[in-house]
Amino acid sequence: MNFSNVSRQKMKAQRNRRQSKIVDSVNPILSAKRDDVGTLEMIRNIVFFSSKGSTS
């Protein structure tokens, strides 16, 4: 009965870890290119698509 709940929590933890990895890789780019709007848009799209892919 508890097993499915545990595996669900594990999956959630893995997903969170993956998203924080994405944030870690984006953060230095954001601070380096804060004034470059085109780059920010591109990064935002990448983050959106990768987070969308990890939820499905």
42 to each of 1, 21, 25, 28, 50, how far by Cα in Å?
44, 17, 14, 15, 12
- Dist CA 56 CA 53 (whole Å): 6
pTM over 0.85: no
How confident is the model over 4-55, as pLDDT tens digits? Answer: 777 888 888 777 777 677 666 777 666 665 556 677 787 788 888 777 765 5
Is the sign of the CA dihedral 25, 29, 31, 34 positive or negative?
A: negative
